[in-house]
Homo-oligomer: A and B are copies of this chain.
Amino acid sequence: MPTNSPLRFVIVGGVAAGASAAARARRLSEAASITLLERGPDVSFANCGLPYFIGGEIKQRDALAVQTPQTLKALLALDVRTSTEVTAIDRAAKRVQVRNLSSGTTETLPYDKLLLAPGAVPLRPPLPGIDDPRVFTLRSLGDMDRIKAAAAGASRVAVIGAGFIGLEMAEQFVHLGKQVTLVELTAQVLPPLDQPMTRLVEDELRKHRVDLVLGDSVAAFEAGDALTCRLASGRAVTADLVVLSIGVRPDTVLARDAGLTLGKRGHIHVNGFMQTSDPDIYAAGDAIETEDFVTHEVATVPLGGPANRQGRLVADHIFRPAETKPYPGALGTAIVRVFDAAAGLTGWSEKRLCAAGRGYRTVTVNDNHHAGYFPGAKGILLKLLWDPTDGRVLGAQVSGLAGVDKRLDVIATAITGGLTIDDLAQLELAYAPPFGAAKDIVNLAGFAACNTRDGLVVPIDALPDDPAVQILDVRPPALVQAHPLPRVGAINIPLGALRARLGELDRTRPVVTVCALGKTAYFAARILAQNGFRVSALTGGIRAHFDPRSPAKLPTP
């Protein structure tokens, strides 16, 4: 480029990454020519808010328009062009071919730096009947409007896919008074999480009369007065409206046609500064593959937070390359609210660690979201995973009725800082009765992890079937009677009586201790271990494994 001309920065895609890049670019250069090209009619809208407008929880559609083409022009002096598609990139000439979708006219725009932020497209597999107009996917404000209009006349809704967006849609359709069926291919909701951690959400869905169909999938859509979703199992689900939320694929045809390097699954490959294989072409957001923060392996994280920060980083690298630090990689931190419950994860799950063949250890702990003696304390469940070689935290999953986001954020920050399980045990978090506990559940997870590492307790993930194993339920007898363990043959000795009644146990046979939350079982296991028993404790207790609302004590009469 001629050195005295202002830099021409062309951005393809005007939502999260694209709009962030444009805004940051303008802060860094009043002189640059910044052009924002968006295929759809809207820019910089709050796509994470779409389900909530459909369900009426967000009442004003305007609230979703974070910026409009007009405000972007006024505040940032951008050349914003909506309904404008980029059809080709001429890398040699550094030009993009642009078509106005309203007028059909085409033109050529030169660039010095180009950002591809095209996002991802909801999957629509080629199933029989998929083109029925009652089968929707949700990506744009237009999709949102169409689903909202269709929902007005629908009484039965099927949501296909119980990932984050599927759960948000199911919740919002219940808010609208619809009869909701939620179909999920895997045996659980929220496939990125490890299974016991999703029980509370599943329970919450059923409590709100969502018909939860797990381990099944749609084979075909059959048109009629209503639409019949024929499932792989043979079951038929009748619906007036179907929302498909089974995943996304990166929208990378343009990048591929331009010869840019793509990853195995079609994502645009970028370096730490979001540069594609052509250093003058950047890419950011849902369409790229980035690095995993922990392992530095390739990762794809189609989430709004990373997209926004990646877009910002692109502008930094264009205008201040020497001062720009590379993208640190993604943790995949994500959360969803489902009625009164929430669940989420950060970093690695057990299933990912297993699949990758990486060593790990794990504990699951229950507690209240703030001091139990303060009114309104709600249950929370935290699963922690760490590296046995150095104690570093690898990931966590949290579910509960309050305070879930806080613990995910603390552990995301801990992973970012390379903290170990010993550090978690000593974290000094904010405590006043309305907000936390003297020993927060994050501290408890650190304690439990250190106890496991140090051999003070052997956690076990499930009750063994081996009849030689003695199952010892250490809850108070009245609680056992009110909430029996869902298996026969357990011995009940409450913790307070255990030392006196050790003779009732067979020292030659292994023992598994069980309680409501997992803590008392650990206490009992310590007593038994020091008395020569081979003992393990059910991690997370009955609440984690059998009943997410299992009480820790009986209500005071």
Contacts and interface: CB of A to CB of B under 8 A. Distances in A.
B432 A75 contact: no
A428 B346 contact: yes
B57 A375 contact: yes
A79 to B, nearest CB: 14
A422 B313 CA distance: 11
Contacts of A271: none
Residue of A293, A434, A526 ringed by the most chain B CB atoms within 10 A: A434
Contact of A373 (B46, B312, B429): B46
Between A425, A432, A496, the greatest number of chain B beta carbons within 10 A of the residue's beta carbon is seen for: A432
Contacts of A29: 530
A342 interface: yes
A162 to B, nearest CB: 15
B416 A416 contact: no
B499 A77 contact: yes
A431 B335 contact: yes
A430 B409 contact: yes
B344 A309 contact: no
A435 B335 contact: yes
Interface in A317-357: 320, 323, 325, 327-328, 330-337, 342, 344, 346
A373 B330 contact: no
Contact of A428 (B62, B306, B419, B431): B306
A460 interface: no
A52 interface: yes
Interface residues of A, number: 97
Contacts of A320: 454
A48 interface: yes
A85 to B, nearest CB: 25
A422 B416 CA distance: 12
Contacts of A419: 413, 416-417
A209 interface: no
A30 interface: yes
Interface in A440-493: 440, 443, 447, 454, 456
A221 interface: no
B334 A433 contact: no
A435 B400 CA distance: 13
Contacts of A496: 71, 74-75
B428 A373 contact: no
A495 interface: yes
A405 interface: yes
Given A305-B439, A375-B57, A435-B337, A429 B412 contact: yes
A425 B332 CA distance: 16
Nearest to A345: B430
Contact of A408 (B306, B404, B430, B454): B430
A97 interface: no
Interface in A220-269: none
15 contacts: A48-B431, A48-B433, A57-B374, A58-B374, A59-B375, A62-B556, A305-B440, A308-B438, A309-B425, A346-B430, A412-B428, A412-B430, A413-B427, A416-B426, A417-B418
Given A60-B556, A325-B422, 13 more contacts: A30-B499, A48-B431, A62-B556, A164-B432, A334-B430, A335-B435, A405-B435, A409-B430, A409-B440, A412-B427, A414-B416, A416-B423, A417-B417
What 10 A-B pairs have minimum CB-CB distances, sorted nearest first? A417-B417, A74-B496, A335-B430, A405-B435, A30-B530, A413-B413, A63-B373, A406-B406, A408-B430, A304-B438
